[in-house]
Structures are given as C-alpha cells and as structure tokens.
C-alpha cells in the first residue's frame, strides 16, 4: 500500500510540473503568487492579483458552493460604442481594473479587461455580494418564508436570542442600524471584520451567529448606522433558516437560472458550512452586469416576479443616514439622492445602476488598498459621471441607433 501511495504521489507531482510549464509566463507568475494564508486584507498586491480570479480554488480558504446558471443566457448584444471623453488607459492603470462592462438600454456599449483577466474569468465580489444577499430577503418575503422586514431577527435566528439582537428587526439588519457595536477597520488585524470569520463557533451554532451574539450594544436599535459585514452574514443565515434552503441554491433558483446568467458562480463558505453572505461570490463580470439589469427591471426573472414589486424602490433608496451629503444606505445598497445606486466591494468591485439612463456599469479591480476615500474611490465616481455625460450627449437610445444606421 505504501509503495502504491508513493507511486500515486509521484504521478501527481509529474502532472503538476507538466501542467505548470504548459502555462504561459503570466499564468505561471500568477500561480507562484497565490497566497498561503487566509488573511485576505493583508495580502500583497501581487498575491491579490493572483487570488482574486481564483478564490474558489485556493486551498487555504474554505470550501465553496456553486450558484448554478441556466441554459439560456440573457442576451447582451453589442450596442453603438460609447464615445467617452476620458483617459480610459490611465483609469485602468490607476484603478488596477480587471474588468469593465457598461450596458446601456440592454446593450453592451463598452467592454474591456485588464490584469490578464478576460470575459470567461470569475473575479471575487467582496461586498458586492451584500446587495445580492439582501435581494434574497425580498425573494423570501415574496415566497412567504419571511413575513415582514419589521419582524424581529430572533424570529428566524434562534441562536441570537438573549443577545443584543433581541430588539433588532430584519429592517434594521438590512440597513445596518442595529446599534450593536462593531469595528470594520480593514487595516486593523484586531478588528471585528478581521477576526469574526476565524472565530471558533460554539457547538451547534453558525460561526457568525456564535461571534455576533457576544457583541455589546452601543446605541438603541434604529438610531445609529455603522457598516457591519458580520450583519450581512447574519442576513444570509436568516434567509437560509426562513426558506430551509442553502443561500447559493436559493440565489440560483431565484435569479441565476431564471434570469439567464451565462456562467456558474461560486460562493465561499465559512467554517461551519454557510455561505459568507457579506462577501465572496466569484462570478463573471458580464453576469454581474446582468444582475444589474435584473434589479433595474424590478426583479422579474423567467417571467415571474421574484421580489415584491415595490422591493427595489425601498431597497435602493436612502433608509439610513451615513453622514455623507447626497448619499445614504438602503437595504445593503449604497444610494444617491439623484436616484442612482450601487453595490460596492473593497479593492474596487462594483455595480453602478442609473435607472433614469437605463445604465449599468459592472467593474472589478484590485486597488492598492482595500478602500481609498481620497484617491481611486473618488476617481471611480468621476468616471461614472463621465459615462453619464457621454450617455446624455448621444441622446435617447433609439435616436442613437438610428444615427448609427444612417452613418453606415
């Protein structure tokens, strides 16, 4: 038996070497930079370049669950190319952008890739996943599994009873106004966001529930907004408890398959086997753009209303004051007073949606740091405005298409 095992390991070693040297130089460089620890927030830029396209294959991370796609992809035809008065090359370099897909009135008007990434690849989402998770609350309400956003959280998560979450509603969880104390400092290795996924769960409890039930209260529920990734993980547990379904399977059933996503996606699991709902969906950028179209269309997939008809009207408008003029927070969406809204993740992931212009911008990046409120963050907002300006200059979609035909 020992000889057989050694022989098998030798064969696997040869296969690895052959496979490794069959890759091109860039692919080998990326493979050699894969991180060997779980501290995502403290990986080097080179490690992130390699890992963000392959998070579901890293042996140092937990397992994943597949979000299965459908058989009939939602069409994304090419539209009249958008004429941008903007230094796109410089933007890609500064933002360290891996993918950009701009959809206007259902047509792709700009699509570009960087960092040796491409349309068939799947980039990790980070907190963009939060907006997908909150949408599953809407689906559960539509299905009757959750009665109301005004229900207490403990009605669905038994393990939170007797904690600071006793007085917290589903709505307050969605808007991050629970009043429970939390530290989301991405530069602090002792912050809650750095520690909670490594927490050793109490017997029989999900790891997030086990960690969050021990947090103290710092304000009355509903009074104070504080960004808390851990609470989105609780939302994921809540949806699974209410529906009796795995979160990835529920997202596949409600959106990924019926709306027509082109590729399977994956969702990283925590140590107790539940999806890390506040993070870590690996998906094609074009499919994230499709999700934006699903939202902009009011939540209809496969001819069926997936969420209540008024869900996104509430979810994507200001429900909580975040202390920034003209901006707010909805149900796990960043909102703007002009009617636009966005899903955003650290290191530059995003879906920007402008319903008035029928515009969706899906992008992925590897910023130099997790957040940058004075540099690449504002630059991305500037880019969004440049796209909006270009859309306004070309006029209504129908007129623009007629002009393109006439020019031909």
CA 4 vs. chain centroid, Å, equals: 45
pLDDT per position as a tens digit, 254-312? 999 999 999 999 999 998 999 999 999 999 999 999 999 999 999 999 999 999 999 99
Q: Is the pTM of this model over 0.85?
A: yes
Tokens 């891996």 sit on residue:
98
Report helix, strand and coil shares of the chain as percent, to nearest 5.
Answer: 40, 15, 40
Task: Kindly indicate the confidence band of residue 186, based on its pLDDT and cuts at 50, 70 and 90.
Answer: confident
Token readout for 317 is: 């408008």
Instruction: State the Rg of the chain over Cα.
Output: 22
Average pLDDT over residues 33-54: 86
Sign of CA pseudo-dihedral 227, 228, 231, 235: positive
The larger pLDDT score, comparing residue 270 to residue 154, is at 154
Whole-angstrom Cα distance, residue 31 to residue 265?
Answer: 21
Q: What pLDDT score does 201 carry?
A: 81
Task: Kindly indicate the confidence band of residue 402, based on its pLDDT and cuts at 50, 70 and 90.
Answer: very low
Max CA pair span of the chain: 75
CB 370 within 8 A of CB 358: no
Q: What pLDDT score does 283 carry?
A: 98
Average pLDDT over residues 186-200: 85
Q: What pLDDT score does 32 carry?
A: 58
Strand partners, 318: none
Residues of each domain in the chain carrying CATH 3.40.710.10: 30-35+44-128+266-408
Is the pLDDT assigned to residue 190 strictly greater than 80? yes
From 71-85, 215-229, 305-319, 385-399, the region with the lowest mean pLDDT: 385-399
Is the pLDDT assigned to residue 194 strictly greater than 90? no
From 120-129, 227-236, 327-336, 399-408, the region with the lowest mean pLDDT: 399-408
Is the pLDDT assigned to residue 177 strictly greater than 80? yes
**What's the Cα-to-Cα distance from 164 to each of 182, 217, 218, 241, rounded to whole Å?**
12, 6, 9, 20
What distance, in Å, lies between the first and last C-alpha atoms of the chain? Answer: 72
Tokens 């007797």 sit on residue:
162
Task: Kindly indicate the confidence band of residue 1, based on its pLDDT and cuts at 50, 70 and 90.
Answer: very low
In a 3-state reduction of DSSP, which class is residue 81? coil
Whole-angstrom Cα distance, residue 304 to residue 297?
Answer: 12
Is the pLDDT assigned to residue 322 strictly greater than 60? yes
| Best CA proximity match to 241, nearest among 160, 313, 163 | 160
Whole-angstrom Cα distance, residue 408 to residue 404?
Answer: 6
Which of the listed ranges 62-71, 204-213, 281-290 does the model predict with the highest average pLDDT? 281-290
Q: What pLDDT score does 72 carry?
A: 95
Q: What pLDDT score does 399 carry?
A: 46
From 1.20.58.710, 1.10.443.10, 3.30.930.10, 1.10.287.110, which CATH number describes the 146-243 domain? 1.20.58.710
**DSSP state at residue 145:** S
From 3.30.300.30, 3.40.140.10, 3.40.710.10, 3.30.465.10, which CATH number describes the 30-35+44-128+266-408 domain? 3.40.710.10
**Mean pLDDT score of the chain:** 89
Whole-angstrom Cα distance, residue 52 to residue 58?
Answer: 10
pLDDT per position as a tens digit, 332-346? 999 999 999 999 999
Q: What pLDDT score does 30 carry?
A: 52
């Amino acid at each position: 038996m020992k000889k057989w095992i050694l022989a098998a390991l030798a064969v696997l070693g040869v296969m690895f070497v052959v496979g490794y040297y069959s890759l091109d130089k860039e692919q080998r460089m990326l493979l050699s930079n894969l991180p060997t620890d779980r501290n995502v927030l403290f990986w080097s830029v080179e490690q992130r370049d390699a890992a963000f396209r392959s998070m579901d294959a890293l042996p140092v991370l937990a397992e994943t669950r597949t979000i299965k796609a459908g058989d009939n992809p939602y069409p994304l035809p090419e539209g009249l190319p958008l004429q941008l008065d903007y230094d796109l090359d410089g933007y890609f370099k500064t933002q360290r952008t891996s993918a950009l897909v701009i959809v206007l009135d259902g047509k792709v008007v700009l699509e570009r890739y960087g960092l040796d990434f491409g349309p068939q690849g799947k980039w990790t989402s980070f907190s963009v996943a939060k907006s997908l998770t909150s949408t599953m609350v809407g689906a559960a309400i539509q299905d009757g599994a959750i009665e109301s956003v005004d229900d207490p959280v403990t009605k669905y998560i038994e393990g939170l009873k007797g904690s600071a979450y006793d007085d917290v509603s589903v709505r307050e969880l969605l808007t991050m106004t629970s009043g429970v104390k939390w530290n989301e400092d991405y530069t602090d290795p002792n912050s809650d966001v750095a520690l909670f996924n490594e927490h050793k769960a109490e017997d029989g409890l999900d790891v997030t529930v086990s960690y969050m039930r021990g947090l103290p209260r710092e304000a009355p529920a509903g009074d104070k907004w504080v960004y808390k990734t851990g609470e989105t993980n609780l939302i994921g547990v809540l949806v699974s408890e209410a529906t009796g379904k795995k979160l990835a399977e529920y997202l596949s059933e409600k959106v990924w398959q019926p709306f027509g996503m082109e590729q399977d996606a994956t969702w990283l699991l925590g140590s107790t086997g539940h999806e890390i709902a506040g993070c870590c969906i690996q998906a094609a950028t074009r499919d994230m753009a499709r999700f934006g179209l699903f939202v902009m269309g009011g939540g209809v997939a496969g001819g069926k209303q997936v969420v209540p008809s008024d869900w996104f009207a509430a979810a994507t408008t200001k429900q909580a004051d975040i202390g920034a003029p003209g901006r707010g927070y909805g149900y796990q969406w960043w909102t703007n007073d002009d009617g636009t809204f966005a899903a955003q993740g650290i290191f530059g992931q995003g879906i920007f949606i402008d319903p008035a212009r029928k515009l969706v911008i899906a992008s992925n990046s590897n910023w130099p740091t997790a957040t940058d409120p004075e540099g690449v963050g504002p630059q991305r907002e500037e880019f969004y405005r440049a796209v909006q300006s270009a859309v306004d200059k070309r006029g209504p979609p129908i007129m623009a298409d007629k002009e393109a035909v006439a020019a031909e």
